[in-house]
Amino acid sequence: MRRLSRWAIRPPDVTALPPLPASPLRLRLDGDALAANWRALDTLSGAARAGAAVKADAYGLGAGQVVPVLAAAGCRDWFVAHWREVPDVIAHVPAAAIAVLHGPLTDADVAFAQATGVRPVLNSLAQARRWLAGGGGPCHVMVDTGISRLGLAMAELGDPLLGELDIDLCLSHLASADEDVPQNAQQLGRFATVRAAISARRYSLANSAGIALGADYHADLTRPGIALYGGVVRRELAGLVRRVAWPEAAVLQLRDLAAGDAVGYNATFVAQRAMRLAVVALGYADGYLRCWSNRGGFRHGPAHLPVVGRVSMDLTAIDVSAAPDLREGDWLTLDYDLPGAAAQSGLSQYELLTLLHRRFARNGV
Protein backbone atom coordinates (compact mmCIF):
# COMPACT_ATOMS: atom_id res chain seq x y z
CA MET A 1 0.00 0.00 0.00
CA ARG A 2 1.33 3.44 -1.00
CA ARG A 3 2.20 5.61 1.98
CA LEU A 4 0.38 8.98 1.88
CA SER A 5 2.25 12.21 2.51
CA ARG A 6 1.24 13.95 5.72
CA TRP A 7 0.10 16.88 3.52
CA ALA A 8 -2.41 14.55 1.83
CA ILE A 9 -4.02 13.99 5.23
CA ARG A 10 -3.73 17.46 6.77
CA PRO A 11 -3.07 20.69 4.86
CA PRO A 12 -0.13 22.81 5.99
CA ASP A 13 -0.63 25.77 8.30
CA VAL A 14 -0.23 28.69 5.91
CA THR A 15 0.57 31.02 8.81
CA ALA A 16 3.71 28.96 9.41
CA LEU A 17 5.01 29.28 5.85
CA PRO A 18 8.16 31.34 5.30
CA PRO A 19 7.86 34.70 3.51
CA LEU A 20 7.00 34.34 -0.15
CA PRO A 21 9.84 34.93 -2.62
CA ALA A 22 9.64 38.04 -4.76
CA SER A 23 7.53 37.89 -7.90
CA PRO A 24 9.39 37.64 -11.23
CA LEU A 25 6.88 40.23 -12.52
CA ARG A 26 6.59 43.79 -11.28
CA LEU A 27 4.59 46.81 -12.31
CA ARG A 28 6.64 49.90 -11.68
CA LEU A 29 4.43 52.95 -11.14
CA ASP A 30 5.67 56.49 -11.63
CA GLY A 31 3.94 58.39 -8.83
CA ASP A 32 5.25 61.75 -10.00
CA ALA A 33 3.75 61.18 -13.46
CA LEU A 34 0.46 60.04 -11.93
CA ALA A 35 0.18 63.17 -9.77
CA ALA A 36 1.23 65.38 -12.68
CA ASN A 37 -1.44 63.84 -14.89
CA TRP A 38 -4.18 64.59 -12.35
CA ARG A 39 -2.98 68.18 -11.92
CA ALA A 40 -2.86 68.68 -15.70
CA LEU A 41 -6.39 67.31 -16.13
CA ASP A 42 -7.64 69.38 -13.21
CA THR A 43 -6.18 72.49 -14.85
CA LEU A 44 -7.65 71.52 -18.24
CA SER A 45 -11.04 71.16 -16.49
CA GLY A 46 -11.07 74.92 -16.01
CA ALA A 47 -13.66 76.08 -13.47
CA ALA A 48 -14.64 72.48 -12.80
CA ARG A 49 -12.75 70.23 -10.42
CA ALA A 50 -11.29 66.90 -11.52
CA GLY A 51 -12.12 63.72 -9.64
CA ALA A 52 -10.71 60.27 -10.38
CA ALA A 53 -12.14 57.02 -11.69
CA VAL A 54 -10.38 54.34 -9.64
CA LYS A 55 -12.67 51.45 -10.52
CA ALA A 56 -11.22 48.08 -11.58
CA ASP A 57 -8.45 48.45 -8.99
CA ALA A 58 -7.45 51.84 -10.45
CA TYR A 59 -7.55 50.43 -13.97
CA GLY A 60 -5.33 47.55 -12.91
CA LEU A 61 -2.57 49.62 -11.33
CA GLY A 62 -3.65 49.04 -7.72
CA ALA A 63 -6.07 51.34 -5.91
CA GLY A 64 -4.04 51.04 -2.71
CA GLN A 65 -1.06 52.59 -4.48
CA VAL A 66 -2.88 55.05 -6.74
CA VAL A 67 -5.42 56.67 -4.38
CA PRO A 68 -2.94 58.07 -1.83
CA VAL A 69 -0.88 59.67 -4.62
CA LEU A 70 -3.93 61.30 -6.21
CA ALA A 71 -5.25 62.42 -2.82
CA ALA A 72 -1.91 64.09 -2.04
CA ALA A 73 -2.09 65.81 -5.45
CA GLY A 74 -5.46 67.31 -4.50
CA CYS A 75 -8.13 64.89 -5.76
CA ARG A 76 -11.27 64.85 -3.59
CA ASP A 77 -13.84 62.78 -5.56
CA TRP A 78 -13.55 59.07 -6.30
CA PHE A 79 -15.53 56.68 -8.50
CA VAL A 80 -15.65 52.89 -8.29
CA ALA A 81 -17.99 50.48 -10.06
CA HIS A 82 -18.62 47.69 -7.53
CA TRP A 83 -19.36 47.81 -3.83
CA ARG A 84 -16.53 45.34 -3.29
CA GLU A 85 -14.09 47.94 -4.60
CA VAL A 86 -14.86 50.28 -1.71
CA PRO A 87 -12.47 48.86 0.96
CA ASP A 88 -9.33 49.56 -1.10
CA VAL A 89 -10.37 53.22 -1.45
CA ILE A 90 -12.04 53.97 1.88
CA ALA A 91 -8.81 53.07 3.65
CA HIS A 92 -7.33 56.30 2.26
CA VAL A 93 -10.10 58.88 1.73
CA PRO A 94 -13.39 59.94 3.38
CA ALA A 95 -16.32 57.64 2.69
CA ALA A 96 -18.62 60.42 1.51
CA ALA A 97 -16.15 61.19 -1.30
CA ILE A 98 -16.57 57.70 -2.81
CA ALA A 99 -19.29 57.06 -5.41
CA VAL A 100 -20.36 53.53 -6.38
CA LEU A 101 -21.44 53.73 -10.00
CA HIS A 102 -23.49 50.52 -10.19
CA GLY A 103 -25.85 51.66 -7.46
CA PRO A 104 -27.83 49.69 -4.87
CA LEU A 105 -29.08 46.51 -6.51
CA THR A 106 -30.13 44.98 -3.17
CA ASP A 107 -31.11 46.03 0.34
CA ALA A 108 -27.69 44.80 1.47
CA ASP A 109 -26.09 47.41 -0.81
CA VAL A 110 -28.21 50.12 0.82
CA ALA A 111 -27.29 48.90 4.29
CA PHE A 112 -23.59 48.97 3.37
CA ALA A 113 -23.85 52.53 2.06
CA GLN A 114 -25.75 53.66 5.15
CA ALA A 115 -23.23 52.04 7.49
CA THR A 116 -20.14 53.40 5.74
CA GLY A 117 -21.32 56.75 4.37
CA VAL A 118 -20.30 55.83 0.81
CA ARG A 119 -22.52 57.48 -1.80
CA PRO A 120 -24.58 55.29 -4.15
CA VAL A 121 -25.16 56.36 -7.74
CA LEU A 122 -28.87 55.73 -8.35
CA ASN A 123 -29.45 54.51 -11.90
CA SER A 124 -33.18 53.80 -11.90
CA LEU A 125 -36.42 54.69 -10.15
CA ALA A 126 -36.32 51.24 -8.55
CA GLN A 127 -32.93 52.04 -7.03
CA ALA A 128 -34.26 55.41 -5.86
CA ARG A 129 -37.19 53.70 -4.09
CA ARG A 130 -34.81 51.17 -2.53
CA TRP A 131 -32.54 53.97 -1.28
CA LEU A 132 -35.40 55.95 0.26
CA ALA A 133 -36.91 52.84 1.85
CA GLY A 134 -33.54 52.11 3.47
CA GLY A 135 -33.27 55.54 5.07
CA GLY A 136 -32.19 57.75 2.18
CA GLY A 137 -29.70 60.56 2.64
CA PRO A 138 -27.18 62.14 0.26
CA CYS A 139 -26.81 60.25 -3.01
CA HIS A 140 -25.86 60.67 -6.64
CA VAL A 141 -28.09 60.16 -9.70
CA MET A 142 -27.06 58.98 -13.17
CA VAL A 143 -29.10 59.95 -16.24
CA ASP A 144 -28.61 58.28 -19.62
CA THR A 145 -28.18 60.95 -22.30
CA GLY A 146 -27.33 58.59 -25.14
CA ILE A 147 -24.97 55.76 -24.25
CA SER A 148 -27.84 53.36 -23.41
CA ARG A 149 -26.13 51.84 -20.42
CA LEU A 150 -26.93 52.66 -16.81
CA GLY A 151 -29.04 55.66 -15.84
CA LEU A 152 -32.52 57.10 -15.72
CA ALA A 153 -34.21 57.55 -19.06
CA MET A 154 -34.81 61.11 -20.21
CA ALA A 155 -38.56 60.40 -20.09
CA GLU A 156 -38.29 59.74 -16.33
CA LEU A 157 -36.90 63.15 -15.41
CA GLY A 158 -40.29 64.46 -14.33
CA ASP A 159 -41.02 61.62 -11.91
CA PRO A 160 -41.96 63.12 -8.50
CA LEU A 161 -39.86 60.45 -6.76
CA LEU A 162 -36.72 62.34 -7.79
CA GLY A 163 -37.85 65.33 -5.78
CA GLU A 164 -37.64 63.24 -2.62
CA LEU A 165 -33.93 62.54 -3.09
CA ASP A 166 -31.06 64.48 -1.53
CA ILE A 167 -28.92 64.60 -4.67
CA ASP A 168 -25.32 65.68 -4.30
CA LEU A 169 -24.09 64.88 -7.83
CA CYS A 170 -26.16 64.45 -10.99
CA LEU A 171 -24.09 62.84 -13.71
CA SER A 172 -24.20 61.38 -17.19
CA HIS A 173 -21.61 59.69 -19.40
CA LEU A 174 -20.36 60.55 -22.87
CA ALA A 175 -20.39 57.73 -25.41
CA SER A 176 -18.06 59.02 -28.12
CA ALA A 177 -15.98 61.82 -26.63
CA ASP A 178 -12.83 60.35 -28.16
CA GLU A 179 -14.24 61.16 -31.62
CA ASP A 180 -15.44 64.37 -33.25
CA VAL A 181 -19.01 63.25 -33.91
CA PRO A 182 -22.46 64.89 -33.62
CA GLN A 183 -23.34 62.60 -30.72
CA ASN A 184 -21.20 64.74 -28.38
CA ALA A 185 -23.24 67.89 -28.97
CA GLN A 186 -26.45 65.87 -28.82
CA GLN A 187 -25.55 64.52 -25.38
CA LEU A 188 -24.49 67.98 -24.22
CA GLY A 189 -27.90 69.35 -25.21
CA ARG A 190 -29.67 66.56 -23.38
CA PHE A 191 -27.52 67.17 -20.32
CA ALA A 192 -28.68 70.80 -20.29
CA THR A 193 -32.23 69.42 -20.10
CA VAL A 194 -31.16 67.16 -17.23
CA ARG A 195 -29.69 70.07 -15.31
CA ALA A 196 -32.92 72.03 -15.68
CA ALA A 197 -35.04 69.09 -14.51
CA ILE A 198 -33.00 67.66 -11.63
CA SER A 199 -31.96 69.72 -8.63
CA ALA A 200 -28.48 68.74 -7.42
CA ARG A 201 -25.57 70.42 -5.70
CA ARG A 202 -23.18 69.50 -8.52
CA TYR A 203 -23.26 68.17 -12.09
CA SER A 204 -20.80 66.00 -14.02
CA LEU A 205 -20.57 64.88 -17.66
CA ALA A 206 -16.96 64.72 -18.88
CA ASN A 207 -14.68 61.69 -18.75
CA SER A 208 -11.00 61.84 -19.84
CA ALA A 209 -11.83 62.53 -23.47
CA GLY A 210 -14.71 64.81 -22.51
CA ILE A 211 -12.35 67.11 -20.65
CA ALA A 212 -10.57 67.78 -23.94
CA LEU A 213 -13.86 68.74 -25.63
CA GLY A 214 -13.82 72.08 -23.84
CA ALA A 215 -15.48 74.12 -21.12
CA ASP A 216 -19.05 73.47 -22.30
CA TYR A 217 -18.63 69.83 -21.22
CA HIS A 218 -16.94 70.41 -17.86
CA ALA A 219 -19.91 71.25 -15.61
CA ASP A 220 -18.84 71.19 -11.92
CA LEU A 221 -16.85 67.98 -11.76
CA THR A 222 -14.93 65.99 -14.38
CA ARG A 223 -14.22 62.28 -14.03
CA PRO A 224 -10.89 61.38 -15.68
CA GLY A 225 -9.93 57.72 -15.79
CA ILE A 226 -7.61 56.37 -18.48
CA ALA A 227 -5.80 59.71 -18.94
CA LEU A 228 -4.71 59.64 -15.30
CA TYR A 229 -2.85 56.41 -16.02
CA GLY A 230 -1.11 57.47 -19.23
CA GLY A 231 -3.84 56.93 -21.81
CA VAL A 232 -4.06 59.43 -24.66
CA VAL A 233 -7.62 59.26 -25.97
CA ARG A 234 -7.70 62.55 -27.85
CA ARG A 235 -4.96 64.44 -29.68
CA GLU A 236 -5.35 67.38 -27.26
CA LEU A 237 -3.97 65.18 -24.48
CA ALA A 238 -0.80 64.20 -26.35
CA GLY A 239 2.17 65.77 -24.61
CA LEU A 240 0.02 66.64 -21.60
CA VAL A 241 -0.36 63.11 -20.21
CA ARG A 242 2.72 61.16 -19.11
CA ARG A 243 3.30 57.42 -18.97
CA VAL A 244 2.61 55.99 -15.52
CA ALA A 245 2.91 52.17 -15.76
CA TRP A 246 6.09 50.24 -16.59
CA PRO A 247 5.57 46.43 -16.60
CA GLU A 248 8.79 44.49 -16.06
CA ALA A 249 9.68 40.79 -16.17
CA ALA A 250 12.70 38.90 -14.87
CA VAL A 251 14.68 36.58 -17.12
CA LEU A 252 14.12 32.99 -16.01
CA GLN A 253 16.47 31.33 -18.48
CA LEU A 254 18.85 32.15 -21.34
CA ARG A 255 19.21 29.80 -24.30
CA ASP A 256 21.45 29.68 -27.35
CA LEU A 257 19.67 28.72 -30.56
CA ALA A 258 21.09 27.47 -33.82
CA ALA A 259 19.65 28.21 -37.24
CA GLY A 260 16.58 26.00 -37.72
CA ASP A 261 15.58 25.80 -34.05
CA ALA A 262 11.84 26.42 -33.47
CA VAL A 263 10.44 28.51 -30.62
CA GLY A 264 7.18 28.01 -28.73
CA TYR A 265 3.91 26.29 -29.47
CA ASN A 266 3.26 25.35 -33.11
CA ALA A 267 6.73 26.57 -34.16
CA THR A 268 5.47 29.96 -35.33
CA PHE A 269 9.06 31.24 -35.16
CA VAL A 270 12.11 29.42 -36.57
CA ALA A 271 15.57 30.88 -36.07
CA GLN A 272 17.21 31.89 -39.33
CA ARG A 273 20.60 32.29 -37.65
CA ALA A 274 22.34 31.61 -34.39
CA MET A 275 20.70 33.74 -31.72
CA ARG A 276 20.31 34.15 -27.99
CA LEU A 277 16.92 33.70 -26.39
CA ALA A 278 15.55 34.80 -23.01
CA VAL A 279 12.47 33.28 -21.42
CA VAL A 280 10.50 35.51 -19.02
CA ALA A 281 7.74 34.72 -16.53
CA LEU A 282 5.02 36.50 -18.45
CA GLY A 283 2.11 35.13 -20.46
CA TYR A 284 -1.54 35.48 -21.30
CA ALA A 285 -2.54 34.51 -17.75
CA ASP A 286 -0.91 37.80 -16.74
CA GLY A 287 -2.75 39.81 -19.39
CA TYR A 288 0.01 39.66 -21.99
CA LEU A 289 -2.21 38.16 -24.66
CA ARG A 290 -1.36 35.97 -27.64
CA CYS A 291 -1.82 38.94 -29.95
CA TRP A 292 1.72 39.92 -28.90
CA SER A 293 3.16 36.71 -30.36
CA ASN A 294 6.00 37.57 -32.80
CA ARG A 295 4.95 41.21 -32.40
CA GLY A 296 5.67 42.56 -28.92
CA GLY A 297 8.96 43.80 -27.57
CA PHE A 298 11.02 44.53 -24.47
CA ARG A 299 13.88 46.86 -23.64
CA HIS A 300 17.08 46.42 -21.71
CA GLY A 301 18.88 49.71 -21.56
CA PRO A 302 18.99 51.05 -25.13
CA ALA A 303 18.48 47.61 -26.71
CA HIS A 304 15.12 46.72 -28.27
CA LEU A 305 14.38 43.01 -27.83
CA PRO A 306 11.56 41.48 -29.93
CA VAL A 307 9.18 38.75 -28.80
CA VAL A 308 9.63 35.57 -30.81
CA GLY A 309 7.25 32.64 -31.01
CA ARG A 310 3.84 32.29 -29.49
CA VAL A 311 3.06 33.80 -26.09
CA SER A 312 1.99 30.99 -23.77
CA MET A 313 0.12 30.99 -20.47
CA ASP A 314 3.05 31.82 -18.20
CA LEU A 315 6.06 32.29 -20.48
CA THR A 316 7.24 34.47 -23.34
CA ALA A 317 10.42 34.10 -25.41
CA ILE A 318 12.50 37.10 -26.47
CA ASP A 319 15.37 37.54 -28.91
CA VAL A 320 18.08 39.10 -26.73
CA SER A 321 20.94 38.88 -29.22
CA ALA A 322 21.22 42.68 -28.98
CA ALA A 323 21.89 42.47 -25.21
CA PRO A 324 24.94 40.20 -24.91
CA ASP A 325 25.57 41.13 -21.27
CA LEU A 326 22.10 40.03 -20.11
CA ARG A 327 22.03 37.52 -17.26
CA GLU A 328 19.38 35.30 -15.72
CA GLY A 329 17.51 37.30 -13.07
CA ASP A 330 17.96 40.59 -14.92
CA TRP A 331 14.84 42.69 -15.49
CA LEU A 332 13.42 43.59 -18.89
CA THR A 333 10.94 46.43 -19.43
CA LEU A 334 7.93 45.77 -21.62
CA ASP A 335 7.21 48.09 -24.55
CA TYR A 336 3.90 49.30 -23.13
CA ASP A 337 3.43 52.98 -23.88
CA LEU A 338 -0.36 52.93 -24.05
CA PRO A 339 -1.11 54.75 -27.34
CA GLY A 340 1.67 52.94 -29.20
CA ALA A 341 0.92 49.55 -27.67
CA ALA A 342 -2.77 49.92 -28.53
CA ALA A 343 -1.97 50.74 -32.16
CA GLN A 344 0.41 47.78 -32.36
CA SER A 345 -1.78 45.17 -30.65
CA GLY A 346 -5.31 46.15 -31.62
CA LEU A 347 -6.26 46.26 -27.92
CA SER A 348 -7.70 49.40 -26.39
CA GLN A 349 -5.62 51.43 -23.97
CA TYR A 350 -8.16 50.48 -21.28
CA GLU A 351 -7.68 46.76 -21.95
CA LEU A 352 -3.91 47.05 -21.88
CA LEU A 353 -3.99 48.25 -18.27
CA THR A 354 -6.90 46.30 -16.81
CA LEU A 355 -5.57 43.02 -18.23
CA LEU A 356 -2.46 43.16 -16.03
CA HIS A 357 -3.18 40.57 -13.38
CA ARG A 358 -2.28 40.07 -9.76
CA ARG A 359 1.00 38.20 -10.34
CA PHE A 360 2.56 41.62 -10.97
CA ALA A 361 4.04 43.08 -7.80
CA ARG A 362 3.13 46.78 -7.63
CA ASN A 363 6.19 48.92 -7.01
CA GLY A 364 7.42 52.47 -7.29
CA VAL A 365 4.68 54.68 -5.78
Cα 343 to Cα 326: distance, rounded to the nearest angstrom = 29
Element containing residue 39 per DSSP (H, E): helix 31-44
How wide is the angle at C-alpha 236 spanned by C-alphas 231 and 242, nearest 5°?
40
Taking only the tens place, the pLDDT of each residue in 163-174 is 999 999 999 999
Ordered domains of the chain (ranges, CATH): 25-237 (3.20.20.10), 248-336 (2.40.37.10)
Catalytic residue among 55, 229, 288, 350: 55
**Best CA proximity match to 205, nearest among 236, 167, 174, 169:** 174
Active site residue 265: yes
**Best CA proximity match to 52, nearest among 99, 88, 96:** 99
How far are the Cα atoms of 7, 13, 15, 128, 183 from residue 18, in angstroms, in the given order?
17, 11, 8, 50, 57
| 8 A C-beta contact, residue 284 and residue 290 | yes
Catalytic residue among 203, 229, 265, 288: 265
* pLDDT of the chain, 365 residues: tens digit per residue: 556 555 556 776 767 788 889 999 999 999 999 999 999 999 999 999 999 999 999 999 999 999 999 999 999 999 999 999 999 999 999 999 999 999 999 999 999 999 999 999 999 999 999 999 999 999 999 999 999 999 999 999 999 999 999 999 999 999 999 999 999 999 999 999 999 999 999 999 999 999 999 999 999 999 999 999 999 999 999 999 999 999 999 999 999 999 999 999 999 999 999 999 999 999 999 999 999 999 999 999 999 999 999 999 999 999 999 999 999 999 999 999 999 999 999 999 999 999 998 899 986 55
Coil/strand/helix, residue 284: helix
The pLDDT assigned to 16 comes to: 79
